[in-house]
Structure 1
Amino acid sequence: MIAAKENFPTFTPEEYFAWEEQQLEKHELIDGRVHLRGQVDAMTGGSKNHSLLAARLITLCSVHLEGSRCDTATSDLPINLLESNDYTYPDVSVTCDDRDQTTTQYIRYPCLIVEVLSPSTEAYDRGEKFRRYRQNPALIDYLLVSSTSIVVDLYHKNDAGDWLILNYQPGDVIELKSINLSFPIESLYRGLNLTETPPMSP
């Protein structure tokens, strides 16, 4: 589970957004308490590959959806988990729901959510975070992208409402039915150094 700083008070959504605007880092709001985004067990995720993969996915989606009623969002836009006062920051999200046109600080009805995995966040992204996300009937595709190897996992909700897991590896074409977009997996990973390097000492 994401670790919260013990000295943080509990917040209402209104208090959370007012407080968040003053912070240098992004925080999620879960059960009234704020949590540093990407922090799990006191370890922070994120890397150059993480940033490049997120940027490429944002570009693929936004170019494909240009002129449509869908919006592609970066990790700066939180999602309000449906029927709760919880807010999370996925790496990429797409909404095609008219109800999200009336909000200014968050969206509620994404059809696609993308998380770029880091060693410190993978268990949370696959487990508790997905459990919360999939309670939203608008969500169709949940894409998990490895930042250390050419591996992509897609959780796709079919017409019967069942979640299927599709695993993509080199040579595969990723299909996002939520936004009718297909692309080769190599288009994400071109030129990336997938060799893990230890973090620099402070």
Structure 2
Amino acid sequence: MIIEAVKAALDKEKETRLKFYDNITEEDKAEFINGEVIMHSPVMMRHNHVTGLLLRLLGIYVAREQLGFVGFEKLMISLTRNDYEPDICFFRQEKSAQFTGDQILFPAPDLIIEILSNSTQARDRGVKLKDYQAHRIEEYWIIDPKDETLEQYHLFGEEYQLVLKSRVGDVKSFVVEGFLIPIRAIFDNAENLKALQNL
């Protein structure tokens, strides 16, 4: 009976997920998490500012070095049960070479970056961290735009380990080869421009 109940629940979740795919549009910012559709509200200015500064650094570096593909905002990552739209993500060349222009669902990236907001931080530190870890996403950054802090997690074996939590100093990616930037460049315009010149 328990097995039948679990199967029925998963079948219902699958049906709800298919409806989610049918109903979302390019204008929506939405995720499917544990059977529930999560609609996201517009972000605060500081969230948008931090996303833009980091996206500029990472996007230019990856394009110049031809390392892969950087996705952001509404790019949907489809994992075993859940679908996420990370703020920023990176796929190595061997994965991104298979992508097509019409593709709307993407596999697990190699790096995910989430920018915290009041409405998302519990999921970013909870279900998302556990799910990203379970799907062996090698590197995960959590950025707090209010406290101007970066947390860098790296997969060791089966679990993430926090390797850096700081407001100052440099952060070096494990996944994006050679990508090293000052943490302040994620939050400060002048530092961002300096970092661009030094990439």
Answer yes or no: is 1:111 the counterpart of 2:110: yes
Cα distance between partner residues in 1 of 2:62 and 2:21:
29
**1:93 alignment partner, one of 77, 89, 93:** 89
Q: Deviations over 1:136-175 (max 9, x none)?
A: 12x11100001112211011124x4542203333431011
Deviation of 1:97 after TM superposition, in Å, equals: 5.7
Alignment of 1:173-192 (within 5 A): 173-180=170-177, 181-191=179-189
CA contact (8 A) 2:77 2:83 kept: yes
CA contact (8 A) 2:68 2:92 kept: yes
Greater fraction of residues in helix: 2
Residue in 2 aligned with 1:53? Answer: 50
TM-score (normalizing by structure 1): 0.75
Q: Secondary structure at 1:65's aligned position in 2?
A: helix
CA contact (8 A) 2:69 2:93 kept: no
Answer yes or no: is 1:33 the counterpart of 2:36: yes
Q: Which runs of 5+ in 2 are unaligned?
A: 1-12, 191-199
Alignment of 1:131-142 (within 5 A): 131-137=130-136, 139-142=137-140
Q: Secondary structure at 1:53's aligned position in 2?
A: helix
Cα distance between partner residues in 1 of 2:147 and 2:114:
15
Residue in 1 aligned with 2:6? Answer: none
Cα distance between partner residues in 2 of 1:31 and 1:133:
14
Alignment root-mean-square deviation, CA:
2.6
Runs of 4+, deviation exceeding 6 Å: none
Q: What amino acid is aligned across from residue 147 of structure 2 in structure 1?
A: S
Q: Which moved more, 1:64-73 or 1:92-101?
A: 92-101
TM-score (normalizing by structure 2): 0.76
Q: Secondary structure at 1:29's aligned position in 2?
A: strand
Which of the two has higher C-alpha Rg? 2
